[in-house]
Structure 1
Amino acid sequence: MGAEAAISVRHAEELAKTLKALAHPIRLRLVSLLAHEPDGEACVCAISAEFGVTGPTISHHLRLLREAGVLACERRGTWVYYRLNPDVLDPVLQAIPLTSTSPSIIVD
């Protein structure tokens, strides 16, 4: 049944932690915004301006992503700059490769 190509139980557990951290609309948008930043990073002040929620709410979501290893950050003066951690995100993207025998995915 193709089990030789399936991910291991341990790998699935590790990926599930990352997916759990991503499983919120605000956190998905945060990751998407950072993925589209020309410099690959953004200041928390610029990130916060993109959302209609309070600063503490954005800080909470950034903290969860940081704790899961999805984001890295660096303090520069009074501001914190965030960037994606590809070492954590790449395995998530590669965990379920689509093959020619995979069902088609329809995007609206």
Structure 2
Amino acid sequence: MSNMEALAQQTAEPCCPPLNERPLSAEEAVRTAAMFKALGDPVRLRLFSAVASHDGGEACVCDISDVGVSQPTVSHHLKKLREAGLLTSERRGTWVYYRVAPSVLAAMGKMLGQYAA
């Protein structure tokens, strides 16, 4: 793992102000870039969306793994989303349940908001 990836994993949620408020610091840019890099893959974006929109705010891997790739690939993509601080996970028996990390959607909306015409 690179130093940039390690820094990106230190915080479980985006940290940054709205993009039109001020320039991002180097640390903020690293964390934000890791988040967007994780979401830049269509399979990861579908998995993130499936978790975020699932009833009760959490999803078992068994409920979201139908994204057109093998189970090991799904696990790899979910790991990348966790490493980027976008998802949290909890093992319950043989299944793993995923949730969007606290405040992630609100923080992303705040950071990208304010641009409505």
TM normalised by structure 1 equals 0.78
Amino acid at match of 1:70: L
Q: C-alpha separation between the residues in 2 aligned to 1:4 and 1:36?
A: 28
Q: How does 1:69-84 map to 2 (within 5 A)?
A: 69-84=85-100
| Structure 1 counterpart of 2:29 | 12
Aligned residues: percent identity? 48
Taking the aligned partners of 1:5 and 1:84, their CA distance within structure 2 comes to 26
Runs of 5+ consecutive residues of structure 1 not aligned to the other structure? none
2:63 corresponds in structure 1 to 46
In structure 2, distance between residues paired with 1:78 and 1:97: 39
Look at both structures and tell me which one has the larger radius of gyration over its CA atoms: 1
Q: CA RMSD in A?
A: 2.0
Equivalent residues in 2 for 1:1-108 (5 A)? 5-9=21-25, 10-48=27-65, 50-99=66-115, 104=117
For 1:8 and 1:51, the matched residues in 2 are separated by 34
Pick 1 or 2: higher relative contact order, CA cutoff 8 A, min separation 6: 2
Q: Which runs of 4+ in 1 moved over 6 A?
A: none
TM-superposed CA distance for 1:58, in Å, is: 0.2
Q: What CA distance in whole angstroms lies between the structure 2 residues aligned with 1:11 and 1:42?
A: 29
Contact 1:27/1:61 (<8 A) preserved: yes
- TM-score w.r.t. length of structure 2: 0.73
Matched residue of 1:75: which SS? Answer: strand
Identify the range of structure 1 (87-96 vs 33-42) with the bigger mean alpha-carbon deviation: 87-96
Paired position in structure 1 for 2:12: none
Q: Deviations over 1:10-34 (max 9, x none)?
A: 3233211111111100111111111
- The answer for unaligned runs of 5 or more in structure 2 is 1-18
